[in-house]
Amino acid sequence: MPEFPPTPLVSVVLPVYNRRHIVQRAIKSVQNQTFQDWELLVMDDGSTDGLENDLAPLVIREKRIRYLKHKNQKVAATRNMGIHAAMGYFVTFLDSDDEFKTGHLEVRVDFMQANPQVDFVHGGAELAGTAESHFVQDAFQPHKRIHLSKCCIGATLFGKKSAFIQSGGFKRLAYSPESEFLPRIKKQFNVQQIDFPTYIYHTGRSDSITSAVKEKYTRPKHST
């Protein structure tokens, strides 16, 4: 088993854009983890809703939470910046409208410590929302719909920071950058899919990327 450095063992990267009204749920789910050797990087992707006003007292009070803001560059670039800023041995993600169950980090750390040859794990999501919203546009054939159980849910990726850096991170794709990332890293690293359903993925929100892509590819075309 490798020797792990001092705290934090895990860095959680949380990209957020104009979700002042809901991001506190995600943050609290990190604070409520049974595994407490973490840091949380709230990566503000150019929000204009006053999010920093809510987070300033929290960052002062909770030294494990860092707040970083940059101009809007979308989720792939924001995750990459979070990876580079992370101080943890492991890096994982949390979307601003989702949440962790209390044992989310613990089961992943236990798995990685028991399997030190593994570089990345992914999977283990509980889908919240209507059954219809569990279908999204296929990243490779966007005119087709695919069930989320057949997709890589990007925020469930959990891996060694060194491996994330070596991989080159996420390509700056407008939709589902993890769909390109996963098959690429499988060629170079030891990647395992796990089934600990502790990531709560809230589906069907009107302000989500998946909803925007669905609207783009399914709205009726008007004749001229």
Torsion of CA 163, 169, 175, 176, to 10 degrees: 0
Q: What is the pLDDT of residues 76-118, one digit of tens each?
A: 999 999 999 999 999 999 999 999 999 999 999 999 999 999 9
Domain ranges of the chain: 10-218
pLDDT at 175: 86
Residue 29: how many other CB atoms lie within 10 Å: 19
User: Tokens at residue 8, please?
Assistant: 């934090």
Q: Which residues pair with 20 in a beta bridge?
A: none
Question: Which parts of the chain sit beneath pLDDT 50?
Answer: 1, 214, 223-224
CATH superfamily of 10-218: Spore Coat Polysaccharide Biosynthesis Protein SpsA; Chain A (3.90.550.10)
pLDDT at 224: 44
pLDDT at 103: 98
Do residues 153 and 125 lie in contact, with contact meaning Cβ atoms separated by under 8 Å? yes
pLDDT at 124: 96
pLDDT at 151: 83
Residue 124 φ then ψ, to 5°: 90, 55
Among 12, 193, 37, residue whose Cα is nearest residue 98: 12
